[in-house]
Amino acid sequence: MAVTISLVALLGLVLFFLLRSKTLGYGSAFIAIMFGFFLASTGASGPINQLTHAVIDSIGKL
């Protein structure tokens, strides 16, 4: 679990700097996919799913 959280933090930081410097390419896509993959295996996946469902439900009620 500690390794997963460290990888999420590292990949998130790398992705942030890649997006900020606007160097988007195949490497950035790979980093984004790996960030999402490791983020899904942490405890943050439950609240992220709940937030997504809440936003979708609220958009549907507009």
Structure confidence by residue, pLDDT tens digits, 1-60: 555 567 778 888 888 888 888 877 787 788 787 787 777 777 777 787 788 788 888 888
25-28 LR contacts (CB < 8 Å, sep 24+) = none
Predicted TM-score (pTM) of this structure: 0.57
13-22 LR contacts (CB < 8 Å, sep 24+) = none
> From CA 46, how far away is CA 40, in angstroms rounded?
9
Q: Please report how many Cα atoms fall inside a 13 Å half-sphere around the Cα of residue 25, on the Cβ side.
A: 3
